[in-house]
């Protein structure tokens, strides 16, 4: 087995990933407008904002990830589900590690719904993806979203910690998890992830300062960065919010300090 090269998508141990698979997961509905429905718009933010990685589905990688955009490391998501899939959550693999690597991927991603009736199916696919990706020398990012019949509270510390632990034990190099507003809880979640890297999922759009405060908290708790979408590309000034995020993630600044650096 080769070791996964994390340094392609991490700088000084930290990362800022821009995620753009919401068109598939949520549909091009209220999340989108005339500007951000165009994948080129997100590729431009990723490039100009010097993101450490852009995370998309394979179709977007095929049709939009070329020429100068290749300066931004690519992550290809290998599974997906739509919002019509409203019963028990399950998201199965639709493309391979091999094809992701052909598209130029420096990492692959996969969502697991821990606590779904179908969790075993997703564990099985994820296990094979870890084998294939590590053989190819690239890291695997697990979107770990506890959800489904067996989950009472998706956002409790206990549930989130269980999720990141499962992802770590399944071999995830990086785990993407949702936020909980509890510093002790965040630190416990960080511990449960062990040597896997841990990054924050952003959630729906909120005010810039509130978003920066959320990021400050996870960085303070020891998270290794963020993998967010709507709070950046729905912003009226995506490159300014990007600047604020960098101040917190790479320079250890507070949310207020970062906010004051943004031109508004």
Q: Among all residues, which ones are annotated catalytic?
A: 145, 176
Dist. CA 116–CA 118, nearest whole Å: 5
Residue whose CB is less far from ligand FBP, 132 or 234: 234
- The two most distant CA atoms of the chain are separated, in Å, by 48
Binding site for ligand FBP (CB under 6 A): 19, 21-22, 25-26, 143, 145, 201-203, 228-231
Residue whose CB is less far from ligand FBP, 213 or 230: 230
Buried b (16+ CB within 10 A) or exposed e, 219-254: bebebbbbbbbbbbbbbeebebbbebbbbbbbeebe
Shortest gap between Cβ of 231 and ligand FBP (angstroms)?
6
Residue whose CB is less far from ligand FBP, 65 or 143: 143
**What's the distance, CA 241 to chain centroid?**
17
Shortest gap between Cβ of 31 and ligand FBP (angstroms)?
7
Shortest gap between Cβ of 2 and ligand FBP (angstroms)?
27
Residue whose CB is less far from ligand FBP, 166 or 234: 234
| Residue 157: exposure state from Cβ atoms within 10 A (0-12, 13-18, ≥19) | middle
Shortest gap between Cβ of 201 and ligand FBP (angstroms)?
4
> Between 183-192 and 208-220, two packed helices, what is the crossing angle to 10 degrees?
50
């Amino acid at each position: 087995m080769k070791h996964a090269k994390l340094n392609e998508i991490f700088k000084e141990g930290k990362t800022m990933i821009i995620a753009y698979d919401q068109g598939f997961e949520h549909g091009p509905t209220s999340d989108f407008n005339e500007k951000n429905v165009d994948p080129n718009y997100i590729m431009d933010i990723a490039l100009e904002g010097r993101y450490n990685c852009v995370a998309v589905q394979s179709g977007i990688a095929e049709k939009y990830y070329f020429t100068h955009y290749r300066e931004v490391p690519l992550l290809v998501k290998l599974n997906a589900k739509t919002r019509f899939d409203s019963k028990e959550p399950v998201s199965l693999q639709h493309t391979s590690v091999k094809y992701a690597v052909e598209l130029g991927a420096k990492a692959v991603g996969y969502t697991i719904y821990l606590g779904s009736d179908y969790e075993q199916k997703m564990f099985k696919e994820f296990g094979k993806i870890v084998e294939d990706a590590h053989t190819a020398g690239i890291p695997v990012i697990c979107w770990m979203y506890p959800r489904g019949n067996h989950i009472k509270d998706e956002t409790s510390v206990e549930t989130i910690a269980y999720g990141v632990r499962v992802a770590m034990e399944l071999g995830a190099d990086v785990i993407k998890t949702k936020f909980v507003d509890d510093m002790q809880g965040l630190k416990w979640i960080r511990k449960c992830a062990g040597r896997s890297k841990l990054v924050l999922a952003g959630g729906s759009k909120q005010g810039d300062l509130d978003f920066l405060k959320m990021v400050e908290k996870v960085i303070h708790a020891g998270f290794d960065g963020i993998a967010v979408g709507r709070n950046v590309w729905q912003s009226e000034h995506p490159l300014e919010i990007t600047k604020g995020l960098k101040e917190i993630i790479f320079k250890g600044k507070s949310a207020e300090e970062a906010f004051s650096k943004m031109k508004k």
